[in-house]
């Protein structure tokens, strides 16, 4: 378990999401909604372009925490609100998404008697904040 204090900043994580990542995720998740691969369908629905799957963005945001933990199983709670789309252009550059996280507060785990850290996560695609109220709770020493 991690030993940590309030205010601890986790190492940031920057990823690139390309169209081929969306295809792979669609195959793994079974979510073949055309807004995740068709510019024509995305435009027809008023979207700014093809968008990444929300659950893919959410999973990548969790990585900023699980990469930091000694054991990813120490993640005990996680949730986000989606605020903006991650628009993925049809080019070789893709969309860059940057995740950062900071320990907000420490509490006691009444079940195990150990400690818990509440971690706030931020996610930006370019200049746009794409997640709101993203928070993880992890076991700590």
DSSP H or E run through 102:
strand 95-108
Domain membership of residue 81 (yes or no) is yes
Tokens describing residue 119 = 């971690």
Structural domains counted in the chain: 1
Domain membership of residue 28 (yes or no) is no
CATH of the domain at 79: 3.10.129.10
Helices vs strands, H then E, count in the chain:
3, 6
Task: Count CB neighbours of 100 within 10 A.
Answer: 17
What pLDDT, on the 0 to 100 scale, is given for residue 1?
A: 56
Phi-psi region of 39 (alpha: psi -120 to 50; beta: other; left: phi over 0): alpha
Domain membership of residue 135 (yes or no) is yes
Range of the domain at 80: 9-17+53-140
Domain membership of residue 105 (yes or no) is yes
Domain membership of residue 35 (yes or no) is no
Q: Tell me the pLDDT tens digit for each residue of 97-131.
A: 999 999 999 998 777 778 999 999 999 999 999 99
Q: Tell me the pLDDT tens digit for each residue of 20-79.
A: 999 999 999 999 999 999 999 999 999 999 999 999 999 999 999 999 999 999 999 999
The pTM of this model reads: 0.92
Domain membership of residue 65 (yes or no) is yes
Cβ(139)–Cβ(110) below 8 Å: no
Tell me which residue of 134, 127, 140, 139 sits closest to 64, measured CA to CA.
134
What average pLDDT does this structure show over 3-25? 95
For residue 87, is pLDDT > 90?
yes
Burial 1-39 (b: 16+ CB within 10 A, else e): ebebeeebebeebebebbbebbeebbeeeeeeeebbbee
Per the listing, tokens 């150990």 go with 114
Domain membership of residue 47 (yes or no) is no
Domain membership of residue 22 (yes or no) is no
């Amino acid at each position: 378990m991690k030993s940590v204090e309030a205010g601890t900043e986790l190492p940031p994580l920057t990823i690139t999401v390309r169209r081929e990542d969306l295809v792979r995720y669609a195959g793994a998740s079974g979510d073949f909604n055309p807004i995740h691969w068709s510019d024509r369908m995305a435009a027809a629905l008023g979207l700014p372009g093809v968008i990444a799957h929300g659950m893919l963005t959410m999973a990548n945001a969790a990585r900023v925490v699980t990469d930091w933990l000694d054991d990813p199983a120490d993640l005990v709670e996680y949730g986000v609100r989606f605020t903006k789309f991650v628009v993925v252009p049809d080019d070789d550059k893709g969309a860059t998404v940057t995740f950062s996280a900071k320990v907000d507060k420490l509490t006691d785990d009444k079940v195990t008697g150990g400690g818990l850290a509440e971690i706030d996560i931020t996610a930006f695609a370019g200049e746009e904040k794409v997640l709101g109220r993203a928070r993880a709770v992890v076991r700590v020493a």
